[in-house]
Structure 1
Amino acid sequence: MAIRSAVTISLVPEARGGPFVFWDDLADACRKASELGFDAVEIFLPGPDEVDLVTLRTLLDGHGLALAAVGTGAGWVKHRLNLVHPESSVRSRARDFIRAIIDFAGRFHAPAIIGSMQGRSGVDGVDAPTAAGHLADALEELGEHAKNYGVPLVYEPLNRYETNMANTVEAGMAILRSLSTKNVVLLADLFHMNIEESDIAAAIRAGRGGIGHVHFVDSNRRPAGLGHIDFAPIVAALEEIEYQGYASAEAFPYPDPDSAAERTMQTFRQYFRNDEA
């Protein structure tokens, strides 16, 4: 199976200005994604009850799209929840939010992504070992819950300015190896990797067997092709590890959503579908 393309859609007003290509209008975004040739969409929801399941199924089927993944970040940006908070009640609410997103995404055989909701240590007196334990406990429980739908849970290492839990693929793989569940995989986000990895392609090769999702974006978080990342060795590394998931555009809508989506697809076809170029 070839690597497939996906584009992000945010329905979270509190996240406005963030790195999502399409905004607000789910139906219009699905139409445009289909017209441009994307295989799937990745959506960012305010909560699991914000989109009717039948409506989403109708949109996806009508436009020949799959659901690549569903982000959980609204749990942080909207509700200020994270998995390593010092108060157990807040951590419990964070798990409940993510579990509900897993239930929503799982009905479409799509995984949920934990990124910003992982939190960070050193906040409100939570030291690094305690925070690591809280995160591991959550990944164990939620990874097993995702197994009910036959999908993994996706954990995303972020750059140092957004978390200190895991900043690199190596750190993410260490967390995965520490877990009893084998149903958690990593998200390799090229924007974060450009900041933290000395060699993105080498990091991807080192993540063989653990990488389950890719955010296809450039160094400046603009659409792929509008920054300075050299994609050729990255694509070669993904092929080498036999990655078969999505290359999903989590990028700023620069200079506008339609142009960002078009440029992403051009770059995707250049590197992943060069026989169609």
Structure 2
Amino acid sequence: MISSAVTISLVEQARGGPFVLWDDLAAGVRLAKELGYDAVEIFAPGPDAVDRGQFKSLLEETGLKCAAVGTGAGMVISQLSLTDTEAAKRQAAIDFVKSMIDFGGEFSAPAIIGSMQGRWTTDLPKDKALELLGEALSELGEYAKQYNVPLIYEPLNRYETNLCNTMADGVQLIESQSISNVVLLADLFHMNIEETCIAQGLKDGGRHIGHVHFVDSNRRPAGNGHMKYEPIVSALKEINYQAYASAEAFPWPDPTAAAKQTIEMFQKLFR
């Protein structure tokens, strides 16, 4: 069964980004429970930005799970990239992701690699950038095994990376370098830009897909754009997807309304 989740951002530098709930972790978790979500996805500045004891108590109080933890603050705040041309900076990026894997691991939550994948440039040809990215994913996927969770890798649209843009690109990266314990994140917003057909993209990802960002074509909450969800739901059933559909969307028109709109669409489509 597909479960629901909603994003909570604690990163001031990401203000205006596509996260539904903001700032107050306790209020966000309790609202998610009130609205009927199964889990929350946390975007934090770093592993020490969350009081782990408080978070554990909140999850116990509400019965919610932690679906995943983001690592993008490493790029947003410190400009860290797994494909930086400087080895020391690549190591700093790997160390940051490991710290987030440690944080998420306490709650059986995988870490997500999105913006920290970086880009290829004139100083770093694409084949070399993909090699560096693959090496980092391989190391980090192995590191995550100690918590019995995978690492989640997210292909992004062309405006955010020029490495892997489609599910097929992600599969090629994982399989060509024999990377283990790494799954793909299928973000419907990015797929709407890059895939010829979102449903086919999901089928291309197949067994490699381990997380879904549930959002509309314009990055507003599901139901506020022109996304056609019926073929998407059918494709997810066809590939036997059984993990989270997590709301990573703009808080439009406001966080509470966005969270409410999303769970209503989730219930309509998946229940």
In the alignment, what sits opposite 2:78? 79
SS in structure 2 at match of 1:209 = helix
SS for the counterpart of 2:249 is coil
Question: Structure 1 CA distance, aligned partners of 2:180 and 2:233?
Answer: 26
Deviations 1:215-246, CA, capped at 9 Å, x for gaps = 00000000000000000110111011110000
Q: For residue 51 of structure 1, what is the aligned residue in structure 2?
A: 50
Aligned length: 271
Written as runs of structure 1 = structure 2, the 5 A alignment for 1:199-210 is 199-210=197-208
C-alpha separation in 2, matches of 1:135 and 1:201: 27
CA distance in 2, matches of 1:7, 1:109: 17
Which residue of structure 2 aligns with residue 8 of structure 1? 7
Shift of 1:121: 0.4
TM-score (norm 2): 0.99
**Deviation, structure 1 residue 169:** 0.3
Residues 19 and 250 of structure 2 are in contact (CA less than 8 Å); yes or no, is this contact kept in structure 1?
A: yes
Is the counterpart of residue 133 in structure 1 residue 131 in structure 2? yes
Equivalent position to 2:144, from 134, 143, 146 = 146
1:258 alignment partner AA: T
Task: Measure the CA separation in 2 of the matches of 1:272 and 1:227.
Answer: 18
Q: Distance in 2 between matches of 1:171 and 1:61?
A: 39
Extract structure 1 runs of 4+ deviating beyond 6 A: none
**Equivalent position SS for 1:185:** strand
The within-5 A match list for 1:216-255 is 216-255=214-253
* Offset, 1:175: 0.6
| 1:24 to 2:23 alignment | yes
Deviates further, 158-167 or 50-59 = 50-59
- Offset, 1:180: 3.0
Cα displacement string for residues 99-123 of structure 1 (whole angstroms, at most 9, x for unaligned residues): 0000110111110000000000016
After TM superposition, give the deviation of residue 204 of structure 1 in Å.
0.6
Shift of 1:29: 0.4
Aligned to 2:105: 106
User: Unaligned regions of 5+ residues in structure 1, if any?
Assistant: none
**TM-score with structure 1 setting the length:** 0.97
C-alpha distance after superposition, 1:235-276 (max 9, x if no partner): 111011110000000000000000000000110011001xxx
- Checking the alignment, whether the CA contact within 8 Å between 2:114 and 2:153 is kept in structure 1 is yes
Indicate which of 186, 189, 192 corresponds to 1:188: 186
CA distance, structure 2, for counterparts of residue 166 and residue 149 of structure 1: 27
Asked if the contact 2:134/2:179 (under 8 Å) is kept, the reply is no
1:190-224 CA deviation, whole Å, 9 max, x = no partner? 00000000100011112111000000000000000
